[in-house]
């Protein structure tokens, strides 16, 4: 991995938190993600299952983690199964984790090779009352791909038909939603790398520059700072495509007078950052661009203040909608009388601001956690209001990553330029 070694105490503490949630004589099993094929003998880059990583720090394919907090033999309460290195694998793929290396990474003392899984699993499950299995239970999940966890579940249901199967996702969502100090430091590093990327491209952007050239400059900066690259597919949309929420083609020339919306973030140690900045291609905001920009920035600043312990998302979103309405009226996009008569279930501001303002951030870009929970200290959210005026080919969104603390919101991107004067100054320096 490109990232620096993470102190195994993080994963030891995470397992302690998880094990405290397992009641009675149950065990939990976590599988690594698949290595996904392309065609012929090609494969996509491997990305570890985030739950397994959070609990172990193991970033290797074909790994299995078993947690059995109340097993009578304390040596079997935390068990890792790993792919064993041989001479062939070492030559063709590079050496895999040794048992000692796995312990140094995770703090787990009991490590077996994957070839021993079937026999050990039979013994472990025979001593358990129930088995917690993993599944991608996420409000925005729409994948139809059968995962390693899915196939493992089918095997358990067939082979151990009398064993009660329980869902581990609710526990993991609750635990992962609250970031530890170590996790926050890793996310801060991801944000710092993202800042370096933005500062690199601002003086680079000129009329005639291709959107993909900007993407390339960002990737260069990310990789040279130990990031694996983008935390998600970057959005580099100029002109009318600044109004396309998930524009990812990034294949046009940036034109003089256009606005350029850039939504990107570096990943570091599997943790995501998520930034949006909107800039003038020619380095100078027009009067209209400046007005819309300042409205979005105002909404963002007001929304950030509300990211505090105890805030409920329903109330948060309602207040942001009210603030946005006032800004849209000021910009001449909404009529105050029409707003007064609007259907509360279909507010008029949605015509120009049609997405949510915040989502959880962590190992996943849209990280696990419920919008029904009040905000808590240690949660990290994006704050990303936007105004999209299709008829003017003008879309402006701004986004920073915010840590909820007892002392108020902590902006992990507070050092990243966002004021108009800063942006113009860096572009014309």
Reference 300, options 383, 395, 418; nearest CA is: 383
Q: What is the largest CA-CA distance in the chain?
A: 76
pLDDT of residue 125: 94
- This prediction's pTM: 0.96
pLDDT, mean over the chain? 96
pLDDT-based confidence at residue 257 (cuts at 50, 70, 90): very high
- Beta-bridged to residue 68, according to DSSP, are none
The pLDDT tens digits of the residues spanning 277-308 come to 999 999 999 999 999 999 999 999 999 999 99
Give the span between the Cα atoms of 380 and 401, in whole angstroms.
7
Q: Tell me what the mean pLDDT of segment 64-83 comes to.
A: 97
Residue 86 burial class via C-beta count within 10 angstroms: exposed 0-12, middle 13-18, buried 19 and up: exposed
pLDDT over 80 (residue 142) = no
Instruction: Show me where the domains of the chain are located.
Output: 9-176, 181-427
3-state secondary structure of 383: strand
Assess if CATH 3.90.1150.10 describes domain 181-427.
Answer: no
Residue 196 burial class via C-beta count within 10 angstroms: exposed 0-12, middle 13-18, buried 19 and up: middle
pLDDT over 90 (residue 94) = no
Contact 255, 238 (CB under 8 A): yes
**Matching residue, tokens 């991608």:** 136
Positions marked active-site: 41, 246, 263, 274, 355, 359, 366, 384, 388, 397, 399
CATH label, 9-176, candidates 3.40.50.720, 3.40.350.10, 1.10.10.10, 3.40.309.10: 3.40.350.10
3-state secondary structure of 177: coil
Q: Put residue 135 in one of left, alpha, beta given phi > 0 → left and psi -120 to 50 → alpha.
A: beta
Residue 307 burial class via C-beta count within 10 angstroms: exposed 0-12, middle 13-18, buried 19 and up: buried
Reference 149, options 207, 62, 235, 228; nearest CA is: 62
């Amino acid at each position: 991995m490109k990232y620096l070694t993470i102190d195994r105490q993080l994963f030891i503490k995470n397992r302690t938190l998880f094990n405290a949630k397992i009641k009675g004589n149950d065990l939990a099993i976590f599988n690594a993600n698949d290595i996904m094929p392309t065609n012929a003998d090609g494969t996509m880059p491997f990305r570890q299952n985030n739950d397994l990583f959070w609990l172990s720090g193991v970033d290797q394919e074909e790994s299995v983690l078993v947690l059995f907090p109340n097993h009578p033999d304390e040596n079997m309460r935390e068990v890792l199964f790993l792919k064993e290195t041989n001479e062939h694998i070492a030559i063709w793929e590079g050496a895999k984790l040794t048992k000692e290396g796995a312990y140094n990474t995770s703090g787990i003392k009991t490590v077996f090779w994957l070839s021993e899984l079937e026999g050990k699993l039979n013994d472990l499950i025979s001593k358990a009352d129930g088995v917690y299995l993993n599944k991608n239970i996420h409000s925005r999940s729409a994948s139809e791909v059968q995962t390693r966890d899915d196939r493992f579940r089918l095997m358990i249901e067939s082979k151990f038909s009398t064993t009660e199967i329980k869902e581990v996702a609710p526990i993991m969502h609750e635990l992962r939603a609250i970031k530890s100090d170590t996790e926050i430091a890793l996310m801060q590093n991801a944000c710092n790398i993202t800042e370096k990327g933005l500062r690199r491209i601002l003086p680079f952007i000129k009329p005639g520059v291709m959107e993909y050239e900007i993407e390339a400059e960002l990737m260069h900066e990310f990789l040279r700072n130990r990031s694996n690259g983008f935390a998600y597919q970057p959005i580099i949309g100029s002109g009318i495509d600044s109004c396309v929420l998930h524009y990812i083609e990034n294949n046009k020339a940036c034109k003089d007078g256009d606005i350029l919306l850039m939504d990107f973030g570096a990943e570091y140690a599997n943790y995501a950052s998520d930034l949006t900045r909107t800039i003038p291609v020619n380095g100078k905001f027009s009067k209209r661009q400046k007005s819309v920009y300042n409205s979005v920035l105002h909404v963002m600043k007001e929304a950030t203040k509300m990211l505090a312990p105890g805030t409920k998302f329903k109330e948060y979103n309602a207040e942001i909608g009210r603030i946005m309405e006032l800004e849209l009226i000021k910009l001449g996009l909404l009529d105050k009388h029409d707003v007064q008569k609007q259907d509360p279930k279909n507010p008029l501001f949605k015509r120009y601001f049609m997405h949510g303002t915040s989502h959880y951030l962590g190992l996943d870009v849209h990280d696990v956690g419920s919008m029904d929970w009040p905000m808590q200290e240690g949660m990290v959210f994006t704050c990303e209001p936007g105004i999209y005026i299709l008829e003017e080919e003008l879309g402006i969104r701004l986004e920073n990553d915010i840590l909820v603390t007892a002392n108020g919101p902590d902006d992990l991107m507070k050092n990243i330029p966002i004021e108009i004067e800063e942006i113009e100054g860096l572009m014309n320096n």
